[in-house]
A and B are shown apart, each in its own frame.
Chain A
C-alpha cells in the first residue's frame, strides 16, 4: 500500500534523523560516564528525583502507541475509543502507591522478575518471565515498525532505513549510558513531546472547524459518533486493564521505581499519569477530523501523523517528526534497558552464572541490549500486521499479571500456586477470546479470570509470607536505617 506524498523533503528528513541521532548518542556517552557501577547502569544509582522521575514516567508512556494507536482507536471505535485510550493513565495512577511499596520492600531490588521469584517461587517466575519477555518484544517491535512507517509517511524515508536508524540510535545510547542515559534523555524528550503536542493541538484547533468535522463524521462515519457500538463498549475496560497489566508487570516501570528516591516514586507516577491523560484525546481528535479534511486513510495506525502533517504543512510536519521521534526513542530505550536488566538479572545471574561479578554482569547486560536490538530489527523487517494487532496479542498475557502482582505486594496470604494458575489460565482463556470474539476483549477476560483465581485460592488456601524475604540487600551493604525489619 503506497502512501500519499510525504510533506517533508526526504533530505530534511534524513537531516533531522541524523541530528537527533547524534544528540541522543552524545547524551548517552555523557551520562554513561556516571554509570560506573552496576547499580548506576541498571538503576541509575537509585537516586532519581521528582522532576526526572515524573518526566521519565510520562515520556515512556507516550510511546508510538499514544501518538499512533490513540488515533487508530478513535478511527476504529469512535468517541468511546478516544476515551478508552486515555484510561491507560489509570495504570500509572494505580502504580503510584505500588511503586512506593516496591521501593520499601525491595530496597536493593533490580527487576520485577526478582519480586515474582521471591514472592511466589520458580514455577510462577518462569510463567511471568515468558509473559514479560513476549510482551516486551511485541512492544519493541510495534515501536520499531512505527518508526519506519512514520518516517516513510512524513519524510518519504524508506521503511527499512527509518526503522533501522531509530533502532540503531536507541541501542547505541542505551548501550553507552544505561538507565542514566535513558532517564536523562527521557527528560528532554518529555519536554519536546509536551511542547510539540501543545503546538500541534493549538494550530489544529485554529484550523479545524468543529461543526464541519461533526457533519462530515455524521455522514461518512456515523458509527464513530454512536454510543452503542459493542466493540467500543467492550474496548473501554479492556484498554484500561491492558494498560494496568503493562505497567504492573513490566520491568520498565519497576526499574524506575527502584531508580527513584524512596519518597519520590509515588508522586512521580501520579504526575506522569496526569501529564499523559489528555494526550490520547488530543491526538484522537485529529483522526476524527480526517474525514472533514478530505484525507484518505490507508492504514489506520498512520492516521494521526498523516492527518497532522497534512493539516499543519511544512513547519507542522517538522514538529510532528520531532514529537514522534522523541516518543519512539523514549520508549524503545526504556524497553531495551529494562528488558536487558530482566534477562541479565533473572536469567543470567539467577539461572546461568550466579557467581558473576559486576564487570561480567555489565558486559552481559550490554551484549543483551545489542542482541535485543538485533532481534527486534529482524522481526520489524517483516512489517507484519498493524501496530494494534501486534501489541494487543500480548494483551491477555499482561492482563493476567495484574492481580498476582498487586495482591502479591499487599496481601500476605496470596497463594503462590494460585498466582501461577492465575497467570497461566488468564493468559490462555484471554487468548481464546482474542481469536473467538476480538482483540478488544482479551485483556479484560485475562484479568478477570486471573482475579477470580487469585481471590479464590487466597481465601481457600491462604499461605503466610514474610515480607523480609523480598529484601536481598547483603548485610554489609545495609544502611543502619534500612536494616531488616524496616519492611512492613
Chain B
C-alpha cells in the first residue's frame, strides 16, 4: 500500500483525536515499520489493518465507519494534491467514470508499483452510475468514503446503495450511485 495512505491516515488520527492516540495505536500495533512512514514509500497493507483495529478499539468506533471517514478525508487530500484530475471533470459521476480508465492509468505512470483496486463503471442514466469495486484488500468502505468525499467536492447530493457480491468480505461490492438534488451548502455532514 502506498505510503501516502499511511501518512494521511496518521494525520487524520492526530487531527480528529490526538498525537497521543497516534503514538498509542502505533505502539499497540507492534508494526514492523514502527510507524515510520513516508508518503513516497510502500508498506504492507496488514499494517493499515492493525492500525485500524487499534484505533477502533481505543476510540470505540467500528472499522467500517473509520474507513468511510478516512476515505472522505483522503479525497480532500487528493483534491489538494492533484487538482488537475478534478478540474478535468464536471460532476461526481463524470469523475467516477474516469477513475479506472484515466486516473488510475496516470497513477500507474507515477507509481509503477501501485496496487490499485479495479472499478467497473456503467452509466445507467444521467443521474445514476453503477460502480463495481473489486480488490483483494476488501476496502469497499474506504471506497465509499472516497465516493462521498467526491460528491462533496462537486457539491452534489448522492444516494449510495451497496450490494456486496463477495458474501460480506468487501472484496467485490457493487455501488449504485444516484445524484439526487442540487448541492448541499457545505460542511462535513456526510462524514462519520
The answer to whether A and B interact is: no
Which A residues lie at the B interface, using CB under 8 A? none
B: residues with CB less than 8 A from A are: none
